[in-house]
Amino acid sequence: MCVARIVILFAFASLMSVPLIAQQNASPSQAFPGTFDLEFPEGDTLRNITEPVFLGKATFLQRLEERNGVQAPATATPSALRAPLGLVLCGGSARAYAHIGVLKALEKAGIYPDFIVASSMGAIVGMLYAAGYSPDDIQMLIHAIPLESYFDIVIPTNGGLINTEIFRATFRKLVGKLDLSETAIPIIVTAEDLKSRQQIWIAEGPFDRVMTSAFAMPAIFEPQPFGEFGLIDAGATIIAPVEPALQISDHLIISTAFYDRTMNFSSPITVLNRAVDIGKTRAGMEEIGKSHAFVIRNDVENLSYMQFSDPDIIISKGEQSAQAALEKLNPNLRSQFENSPLPGFFEHRSLIHNSLVRTIQQLQSGEMPSASFMIRGLPILKLFEPFSRAPGETGTEPRIGASLVFSISKFRAVVSYFAALNPEPGKEWAVETGIRANPLGSLNVWLTTRLWGEYGSTYILDHKPEYWEFAGLVKNTAVLKNKKIGFQLGGDMLLKTAGTIATWQTLGLVEASSTKQFSKAGPFLQPWYSVEAGGFVENTSGAQIASGIQSTLMGGINSTWVSPKARAFAKVSLNGQEFAESKFDGFRSAAPRGSALSDLITNAEIAVAPQDMYLDMAEALLFRNFELAPFFDTRWSNASGEYFHMSDWAAGLSFSFEARAFGLAPATISLYASYAGSKVFTLQIRAGVLLSEQ
């Protein structure tokens, strides 16, 4: 009986306790409502972080409604109108070039989006497509104009290492003063605001400013002022901008450009890159997963984010990935995405294409885009001398220092101080002022003044001026179909500070060369050439004035693996006076140069160049365009009282490569070793490549 009583009492106590436990666990909010609203009331800056700001929302929705109305059948009722088709282009740095291939495949399948949402590098592709450029035109543009060359590396006093003003000016020249709300296809570009920490959805604003805001990678690019905001790349927080698209429509195509390669985490830079990638990729996957969209997973996940120099490879992967994804859909599902463009779409695209071709030719000819006012400090660091230097060209000496640059419209002025890293006597430091102006068409003028000197006993504080240098260069180039023709006239004068002339030289040349051709197929063999010829006057050998003719002929055949190249440089005095031979003549030996009445330098090499080979280090440096070339050079010359003969030869091996950091304009470095007939062994590093297509 005692046991029975205990069991009954325990069961009764258990039953009595259930409601209490259930009440405690089922709805804790009824017991404690939370204090979030008390701690973060409406209007609090931190509470607002979760709310995106949609700039141009009303205009965007109106454009989309008009667009959808035009495409719907005349008899359709409002409820029968289909949901607009949205295309989401994810970020991914160079991997985002895959979106160009995706657009090609979609158009072949008869699929044209009603609107686009894009971020980061995906926004560059998306904005150009929205503006009316065809996928082929976008591919042609990135081939013809190395856009990274319009970036200025600056002293980071404005939140970043790279200023994009010249890049913005270039895009104003390409698309005009276009507002994002005026594009052929409505588009939303995402960015992040540093001030409010809110995400900004941009559907209106200056086209060029929106574009630079979209890819303003934090700390690398300067944040972009945009009204009351200071914008950076939205890829810092999320790589797939799906949320804005879902608020517009649930009928979506998403093109990804994720990164999922095997990584070595021994480098702190690699660890940092992965740490940043974790959050934004995780958030992107969550957004894509809840979208129920047609997803195109581009096969670029093992490529470096800096691989901007291989657009064709990435574009091809994007096209193949999109075709494979479309083939997975049954005909009924695939037909749901078929969508015709608006009337007049292709006519507008044709006008855009013709304008693009003209603008590319102008930029390739050297025409400067008209820039807004900019003043910035720039670092100076040049480690190696180039292979060639013509009168009037400055900035070729290895040096370290800083500049203050001022630019507006087509005028650029600079004031610099630098120390020479491999100084000549009397040229250990220099103070330089220079201007570049583009007054008309592709005519460019450079003027430079330098005060050279040596350091005294106290080194930094004690400067002893030795020489004044005055240099000028006038250059004009025109691109006509597959050829580039032009002229240049340059000269420089070196005066001792006492006022006596040390040396001077002038050179005028007419130039012609083949231009790099863009071809979607990419021919196996691509011949190229360049030729220049003109006259010179100088007093580089003593006080005598030599005058004569000078010319260079260069050519070769580029192929997938092996590329033969040849060059001939000739300089002949016609008045019987000698000139000083130069270390920039292309003869790859450190053999001493003297004075001559005539020079002929020949260069021949067979370069082994695996086009698809690259190497990246710690996700910060990318090396590509490797060339290994055995070479044979000859020097033919004669001085006063001599006959023309082969005075020297050099045989050796050259190795060159292209290096770039964070997708910036690449630096090309050449290392060569040679042995000369004059019994001189040479091991040198130079900037650039001696035999290269212009």
The catalytic site residues sit at 120, 233
Give the separation between CA 102 and CA 88, rounded to whole angstroms.
11
Going from the C-alpha of 262 to that of each of 94, 265, 270, the distances in angstroms are: 18, 10, 11
Element (H, E) at 508: strand 501-514
Q: Are 180 and 189 in contact (CB under 8 A)?
A: yes
Q: Which residues contact 619 (CB under 8 A, 6 or more apart)?
A: 263, 267, 269, 270, 273, 304, 305, 306
What residues are paired with 26 via a beta bridge? none
Residue 469 pairs in a beta bridge with 450, 494
Return the H-helix or E-strand segment holding 161. Answer: strand 160-163
**What whole-number distance in Å separates Cα of residue 501 and Cα of residue 499?**
7
Measured CA to CA, the distance from residue 637 to residue 599 in angstroms comes to 5
- Calculate the alpha carbon distances from 487 to 473, 511, 517 in Å: 11, 6, 22
Measured distance CA(535)–CA(500) in Å, rounded: 26
Q: How far apart are CA 93 and CA 307, in angstroms?
A: 8
What are the tokens at 90? 């994810």
Helix or strand (DSSP H, E) at 209: helix 207-214
**Which DSSP symbol is given to 223?**
P
Question: Residue 589 contacts by C-beta under 8 Å, 6 or more apart in sequence?
Answer: 633, 648, 650, 674, 676, 678, 680, 682
Q: Are 594 and 614 in contact (CB under 8 A)?
A: no
Task: Look at residues 134, 261, 121, 143 and name the one whose alpha carbon lies nearest to residue 191.
Answer: 121
d(CA 623, CA 143): 19
347: left (phi over 0), alpha (psi -120 to 50) or beta: alpha
Separation CA 273–CA 266 (nearest Å): 12
> d(Cα 311, Cα 307) in Å, to the nearest integer?
8
- Tokens 């009954």 belong to 8
Residue type, 629: A
Beta pairing, strands 160-163 & 595-596: unpaired
> 281: part of which helix (H) or strand (E)?
helix 268-289
Angle between helices 135-144 and 345-364 (to 10 degrees): 0
Residues 6+ apart with CB under 8 A from 384: 398, 669, 685, 686, 687
- Number of residues that this document lists for the chain: 694
User: 165-175 vs 345-364: helix axis angle to the nearest 10?
Assistant: 130
Cβ pair 673, 688 in contact under 8 A: no
CB atoms within 10 A of CB 289: 12
Amino acid of residue 597: L
